[in-house]
Structure 1
Amino acid sequence: MKKICLCFQIHQPYRLRRYRFFDIGNSHYYSDDYLNEEVFERIADTCYLPANRMLLELLKAYPDFSVSFSLSGLAIEQMEYYKPELIDSFKELVATGRVELLAESYAHSISSLYDSVEFRNQVRMQQTKLRELFGVSPSRVFCNTELIYSDDIALELSALGYEGIITEGAKHVLGWKSPNYLYTSAVSPKTTLLLHNANLTELITSHFSNYASAEYPVTADKLLGRVKWLPEGEDFVCLYMNYEVLGVMNRPETGIFEFFRALPALAANYEVSFTTPSRLLDEEKSVGALSVAYPISWAGEEKSTNEWNGNILQQGAIEKLRAWGERVHALEDRRLLQDWLYLQSADHFYYMNTVNWGGHPFSPYSSPYDAFNNYMNVLSDLLLRVEEQAPSSIETEELNSYQQTIRAQDEQITHLENEVHQLRKQLSSLSEIKQ
């Protein structure tokens, strides 16, 4: 029996307010709260809530049905702020035991490409958030931002204990091979690679509501038929997509919700079942190793990372982030660290993308240059705040030493305060005895 591994990505960044040059040094608030709330509530009402209700119905009705989510920490934060009922909705899904919450970076960042320390911190933050909110054990499978992957990233994730990684089945990596098998990393043999099948996923993401497409109309029968008649040995497909495919990218009136309802209802007729990434690691065996020397993603024809770091605007902003990262973390200032984290989101760099610019549909800016200027103004103000607390004349190692001394002093003060408290209690007891 063939299997479908259905994975959804959910992420929303904290969009920046219009931050002008003259705001630098005068205002330290960066988020566009109105826009963030408006966008999140609109997408939640159109997609997240109705889609969750539909999936819960399907999970209850079809014991074979299962689904996976890659939830960024920033998306979870906004659920807590703007739509707390969404958290309850996801808890209901997780409680069925057939929904897997995958590991990813907290800020949905591309830090895996430029700052391994920041990357590890965000991975741990996201898993902690999932554990605290949903009570789930850390996932065995990692799904990096925009499916970004390379041999170096495989080594990093293997060191963090992940057994599997979801990434793109890029043609220049696979050659004649099929994405419908498990592979292992050439540099980390214990790390299993689960590859996204772009062609079948695009039936839903690109062709479903495109009347001009040769694939139109896309039906559940069409998708299930193609899965059923995969070549012998190709026992599963990984369909990975943005959750917004339900209700936003494809409006409800296109029949997208009815399409997903029909998938598990008709699956048995086509001898197709559903699975999760972790179950695939247990049920399937790797057929070979893949080497990916240069980072890939699921974006564009090249499947490269150029959407986020391909031009000098993006590279300049990323280099500034990388250069100051160690100093920011050394300060241990909660507000600074939060602002720093929000600036890591891949979206900010995507808005600076100059490839085929015609007004990116998700960008709040008029041009990539506008996005770059606004971002750098914000980053400049944040770095001024860092400079105030830790002048660049102080070396980072010296700054770390100061921070360790301060922590030791704080611990000593706490210890002495506890001793004083205990002594006061003893004196009080002695006074009572004398009386």
Structure 2
Amino acid sequence: MERCGDPQGLLGGHTRAEAGVRGEVGMTEICLGFEVHQPFRLNRRFTEEMARGKSPSELPDIYFDNSMNREIFLRVARKCYLPATGIILENIDRYRRDRKKFKVAFSLSGTFLEQCMRWAPELLDIFTDMAKTGCAEFPCQTYYHSLSSIFSSDRTEFVEQVQMHRRKVEELFGMRPTVFENTEFLYNNSIASTIAAMGFRGIFTEGAERILGWRSPNFVYRASSADIKVLLRNYRLSDDVAFRFSNRDWEGWPLTADRYAYWLACTPGTCINIFMDYETMGEHQWPETGIHEFLRWLPGEILRHENLEFSTPSELLRHEPVGEIDVHDFATVSWADAERSTNAWLGNDMQRTAFNHLKALESWVRKAGDPELTRIWRLLQTSDLIYYMFVTPGPSGLVHGYFSQQFPSEAFWVFMRVLSDFYTKVSERLGSSGRPLRLLRPVPPDRAFHLFEGGRYINLSAHSLRELADVVRIAPESSLREHLVNGDVRRWVEETIEDRELAARLGKRGLENLRGELVRELELRLNELEKVNSYNFSNSAGKNRRDSGD
């Protein structure tokens, strides 16, 4: 069965027979949404000497490259934010008094809003003007665009960041969000339950086949775990604009506003959620591609169709759900890459090392109780910083490389240098009770313990005592024996980690049952150091590997 005027299947939707949910032809609501975010990128030139003796209030300007952040923000503002937002506001005004209005949604991260207020306040004024029209909605997200929703089962940090963002939206735009859009559309049953408990009525996620099966994304669903409605992104139609718009090899090129509107008009369903990075409009797709003209004419072309109208996310919640969305906590979905999972952030050892050591700081940072240190820890949680470490060939790798503009290994080195120093700063703030944290700190790759066998690196490295215990469990016994005979393990523990007590214990160990004895000594020491901290690094690290599909 062919789609309406679409024999090649460019619409990416389902025929009405395939949808199998709604028989009559009625009005289809278009929800056009944009995720708007800029991270605070790290200072690639950072060394621990730069931070020595500095107070917590001085660290942000040392850890982060705000000269580069300002340059990038102003460039994107010039190419995308200012022209695109101006075009959208013009279209809102043009159709504001008509029966069918143009409506739009913006999910603005807290770090974007901070940069906006700092470097382009006139842009924030346009968003404020848009809020006053009643035709723009601002869904909630995590303030720091973080991965805190997959930190731990209690999600304390996640809840606090969502509350921060909700307060900021109310403060700036005078509206209290009822719909939530998690960082990069991350979603599972527990996240949905947490968000429902916070009073939200709807949540966005990806309309991926693995959670839909035969069903269409173009309807409202409910979460299987909570009383909250689920709005699904039509990723094919969204990515036609976000990724394929300027691709001359794509069979849908050139994509004009009238053609795209026709595709929408022929796509069955109650609602079609078109959601993409706002940077699509001039930064990812350059102005020379015609993207601004596409945006200028799209609202009118859509409204010309009798069966199409625009709705905001909260307006879609009036629809009754047609089914349930069930996503197990170890099968988290997102809109990132072809896998649409957590793989974009937890897909390799570099990313897992960075992520696990970052979240292991939570109870220590809370115990320190320093607002400046808490803010730095949260800035380091921004998902982009770990996303930059992604390594894979093919289209997904190209997308990561575009956003990062540095090699994944360099991103990892920079992050670990900053994180290692930050551990030290939190430890110093805690005084004598912080000494265990200093011994638990990760070190950057140039100071890590790299395992060799016969002079050959065997692709195993430890950046902390916890990782040393992990690699000892799986390293070839011949490699362990070689390192113990040479005194490498004891020397690294004493000179790099600076744990002389553990080094002395290791120096007394013989070579019999060396793996078991070494693991026992390391675990004993880790238990001693971690007993002041309720956070269990090992258990959560295992959970992350399951989340990432490893």
| TM-score normalised over the length of structure 1 | 0.87
Deviation at 1:397, TM superposition (A): 10
Instruction: Tell me if 1:184 matches 2:226.
Output: no
Match of 2:131 among 69, 91, 94: 94
Residues 353-362 or 304-313, more deviating = 353-362
Instruction: Tell me if 1:146 matches 2:179.
Output: no
Match of 1:286 among 311, 317, 321: 321
User: Could you list the runs of 5+ residues in structure 2 that have no partner in the other structure?
Assistant: 1-26, 437-528, 535-550
Q: Counterpart in 1 of 2:195? A: 157
Instruction: Tell me if 1:350 matches 2:362.
Output: no
Q: Counterpart in 1 of 2:426? A: 386
Instruction: Tell me if 1:309 matches 2:346.
Output: yes
Match of 2:278 among 227, 233, 243: 243
Q: Counterpart in 1 of 2:82? A: 49
Match of 1:129 among 168, 180, 192: 168
Q: Is the 8 A contact 2:32 2:105 kept in 1?
A: yes
Q: Is the 8 A contact 1:25 1:384 kept in 2?
A: no
1:203-229 per-residue CA deviation (whole Å, 9 max, x = no partner) reads: 211221111111101112222112212
Instruction: Tell me if 1:11 matches 2:49.
Output: no
Sort the Cα spacing of 1:374 and 1:23 in 2 relative to 1 into closer, same or farther, 3 A.
Answer: farther
Deviation at 1:267, TM superposition (A): 2.3
Sort the Cα spacing of 1:299 and 1:399 in 2 relative to 1 into closer, same or farther, 3 A.
Answer: closer
Q: Counterpart in 2 of 1:298? A: 335
Q: Is the 8 A contact 2:48 2:417 kept in 1?
A: no
Sort the Cα spacing of 1:209 and 1:399 in 2 relative to 1 into closer, same or farther, 3 A.
Answer: closer
Q: Distance in 2 between matches of 1:201 and 1:15?
A: 27
Q: Distance in 1 between matches of 2:370 and 2:65?
A: 22
Sort the Cα spacing of 1:217 and 1:20 in 2 relative to 1 into closer, same or farther, 3 A.
Answer: same
Residues 36-45 or 300-309, more deviating = 300-309
Q: Is the 8 A contact 1:24 1:380 kept in 2?
A: no
Q: Distance in 1 between matches of 2:195 and 2:531?
A: 27
Q: Distance in 2 between matches of 1:25 and 1:48?
A: 34
Match of 2:401 among 360, 373, 376: 360
1:312-363 per-residue CA deviation (whole Å, 9 max, x = no partner) reads: 1111111112211112023221221121111010001101111224670121
Match of 1:92, SS state, is: helix
Identity %: 39
Number of residue pairs the alignment of both structures matches: 394
Q: Distance in 2 between matches of 1:168 and 1:186?
A: 16
Q: What amino acid maps onto 2:31 in structure 1?
A: C
Deviation at 1:19, TM superposition (A): 4.2
Match of 2:401, SS state, is: coil
Q: Distance in 1 between matches of 2:416 and 2:530?
A: 23
Q: Distance in 1 between matches of 2:533 and 2:199?
A: 31
1:287-316 per-residue CA deviation (whole Å, 9 max, x = no partner) reads: 011110110101122211100111111111
Match of 1:287, SS state, is: coil
1:23-78 per-residue CA deviation (whole Å, 9 max, x = no partner) reads: 37526421101110000000011111111111111001013100000100000000
Q: Is the 8 A contact 1:19 1:378 kept in 2?
A: no
Match of 1:58 among 81, 91, 97: 91
Match of 2:360 among 319, 323, 328: 323
Instruction: Tell me if 1:369 matches 2:409.
Output: yes
Q: Counterpart in 1 of 2:7? A: none
Sort the Cα spacing of 1:97 and 1:383 in 2 relative to 1 into closer, same or farther, 3 A.
Answer: same
Q: Is the 8 A contact 1:8 1:242 kept in 2?
A: yes
1:237-293 per-residue CA deviation (whole Å, 9 max, x = no partner) reads: 0000011111112222222122122222222332211011100002x2100111101
Q: What amino acid maps onto 1:12 in structure 2?
A: Q
Q: Counterpart in 1 of 2:313? A: 277
1:172-223 per-residue CA deviation (whole Å, 9 max, x = no partner) reads: 11110000011111111x1100000011112211221111111101112222
Residues 256-265 or 355-364, more deviating = 355-364
Deviation at 1:382, TM superposition (A): 1.0
Q: Counterpart in 2 of 1:198? A: 235
User: Could you list the runs of 5+ residues in structure 1 that have no partner in the other structure?
Assistant: 401-435
Match of 1:32 among 39, 59, 65: 65
Match of 2:73, SS state, is: helix
Q: Is the 8 A contact 2:46 2:63 kept in 1?
A: no
Q: Distance in 2 between matches of 1:370 and 1:273?
A: 47
Residues 271-280 or 25-34, more deviating = 25-34
Q: Distance in 2 between matches of 1:334 and 1:238?
A: 38
Q: Distance in 2 between matches of 1:268 and 1:384?
A: 58
Match of 2:210 among 147, 166, 172: 172
Q: Is the 8 A contact 1:314 1:349 kept in 2?
A: yes
Q: Distance in 2 between matches of 1:206 and 1:144?
A: 21
Q: What amino acid maps onto 1:274 in structure 2?
A: F
Q: Counterpart in 1 of 2:294? A: 259
Q: What amino acid maps onto 2:412 in structure 1?
A: F
Match of 1:362, SS state, is: helix
Q: Distance in 1 between matches of 2:194 and 2:41?
A: 29
Deviation at 1:100, TM superposition (A): 0.4
Q: Counterpart in 1 of 2:258? A: 221
Sort the Cα spacing of 1:399 and 1:214 in 2 relative to 1 into closer, same or farther, 3 A.
Answer: closer
Q: What amino acid maps onto 1:218 in structure 2?
A: L
Q: Is the 8 A contact 2:35 2:106 kept in 1?
A: yes
Root-mean-square deviation over aligned CA pairs: 1.9
Residues 19-28 or 378-387, more deviating = 19-28
Q: Distance in 2 between matches of 1:86 and 1:21?
A: 35
Match of 1:374, SS state, is: helix
Sort the Cα spacing of 1:393 and 1:184 in 2 relative to 1 into closer, same or farther, 3 A.
Answer: same
Sort the Cα spacing of 1:399 and 1:147 in 2 relative to 1 into closer, same or farther, 3 A.
Answer: closer
| TM-score normalised over the length of structure 2 | 0.69
Q: Distance in 2 between matches of 1:298 and 1:315?
A: 19
Sort the Cα spacing of 1:369 and 1:253 in 2 relative to 1 into closer, same or farther, 3 A.
Answer: closer
